[in-house]
Structure 1
Amino acid sequence: MTDDASVAAAAAHIEAREGGIDVLINNAGVFGTHNPADQITATDASEVFEVNVVGIVRVTHAFLPLLRTSAHPVIVNVSSGMGSFAATHDAERVESRNLAPLYTASKAAVTMLTTQYAKSWPDVKVNAADPGYTATDFNGHSGPQTVTEGTDAIVELATIGPDGPTGTFRDRHGEMAW
């Protein structure tokens, strides 16, 4: 995600082997520092945004020509409810109780990038998915959802047909407020 040459080599390998792809799932994310907001530096921000946002741009740019070989190309960007303004302001939701300035800002950027890509490429279905608070290495397996539950929205969006949605943000329960 962070190296142009590596991403280009991966795209070239897949093109040589497969000729194209139907679905691209951008699923990379780093949390970044756990420092309080007043101790976060520009370097900290650069490290998080380089993976979580710039990485999606890099990979999407490299793989878009391969996607365009498909009759029904689909991109799913894995975002987070922690990047939702609605969820982070809803006291009933777990997202409102977590302070993670860089992670949340980067995931809000992922969701906005998704809408802009969807508007820019009417021939490609581009959506964002929130896996939710899923028990993974990312959170020390503290999430209440299984990995299968966490991938429900990703799989649903990856397998949409040509009349499926584009520019949406979903979790396993349906469309999410931004």
Structure 2
Amino acid sequence: MTDIVRLPTQIRPPAPGLVALVSGGNSGIGFDTARQLLDRGLTVWIGARDIDKGRRAATELGPTAHVVHLDVTAPSSVAAAVSRVGDLDILVNNAGVNPGGADITGTTLDQLRIAYETNVFGLIAVTQAFLPALRRSAHPRIVNVSSGTGSLTWNSGPNPQFDWERVRGGGLAYRSSKTAVNAVTLLTAQTLGDNVKVNALAPGLRLTNLIAGMTVGGDPAEAATGAVRLALLPDDGPTGALWSWDGTRVPW
């Protein structure tokens, strides 16, 4: 049996003056991640596709929260966000969509394009754009919000993480896009080395607006604790892995 790998439960106090950007930070897991980072003394930028929603979120979060327009699918928006944010220590790629669709027999190419445009291509575009700023940081961290349903190991057979028999083969667009996020996380970590900690988060099923009319799921704030743990990893912390919100290593 493979030993269970866990992150330390205690988060080290962050170095003073750290700046974080959370894409899709105006609601759900992103909002709670921003709030918890603010509570730890960081300056946080709320990246929002809808600037009005972003402003409302920043107002609710307090004076050290700032809003920046960030549509991860629009190159001009990403470039403008880089100019506005400036220095950056922590990037939380949280923005994501679930366009619906079923299995290979009931998913359209448009649904696949929508999922990949935001969840994969948008994540890569934002990471590439902010990489120069992150490389200037003494404590650079990248957290990619993924999904346990993107784990090929968990999808290959029954497991206690989700109803494997019910969802087997389903959710092709969303789940395969998160598998791609996992691959991007690993390959990015291999490229950047130990200095830039790059990890992915499996937040678990959360009650957010990811799916219209969603009525089931756990507290997004609980998942945000996992994102914050990865955002504030010590310099000797791990990189290039997928982690559950509770700090347990998730197999690829």
Q: Judge same fold: TM > 0.5, yes or no.
A: yes
Q: Name the structure 2 match of 1:101.
A: 172
SS at 2:251 equivalent: coil
Choose from 160, 167, 173 the match for 1:92. 160
Q: Name the structure 2 match of 1:33.
A: 100
Q: Name the structure 1 match of 2:251.
A: 177
Q: Structure 1 residues 92 and 120, CA, compared in 2 at 3 Å: closer, same or farther?
A: same
Residues 27-73 of structure 1 show CA distances to partners (whole Å, capped at 9, x for unaligned) of 12111133553132322211110000000110001111111111010
Q: Displacement of 1:106 after TM fit?
A: 0.3
Output the aligned Cα RMSD. 1.5
Q: Name the structure 1 match of 2:231.
A: 158
Alignment gaps of 5+ in structure 1: none
Report whether the alignment pairs 1:5 with 2:76. yes
Runs of 4+ in 1 over 4 A off after TM superposition: none
Q: Displacement of 1:169 after TM fit?
A: 0.5
Q: Which has the higher helix share?
A: 1
Q: Which amino acid aligns with 1:32?
A: P
Q: Which amino acid aligns with 2:106?
A: Q
Alignment gaps of 5+ in structure 2: 1-71
Report whether the alignment pairs 1:127 with 2:199. yes
Number of matched pairs:
173
- Contact 1:77/1:110 (<8 A) preserved: yes
Bigger radius of gyration:
2
Given the two structures, how large is their TM-score scaled by the length of structure 1?
0.91
SS at 1:59 equivalent: helix
Given the two structures, how large is their TM-score scaled by the length of structure 2?
0.65
Q: Name the structure 1 match of 2:136.
A: 69
Q: Which amino acid aligns with 1:68?
A: R
Q: Displacement of 1:100 after TM fit?
A: 0.2
Q: Structure 1 residues 95 and 76, CA, compared in 2 at 3 Å: closer, same or farther?
A: farther
Q: Structure 1 residues 56 and 39, CA, compared in 2 at 3 Å: closer, same or farther?
A: same
- Contact 2:243/2:249 (<8 A) preserved: yes
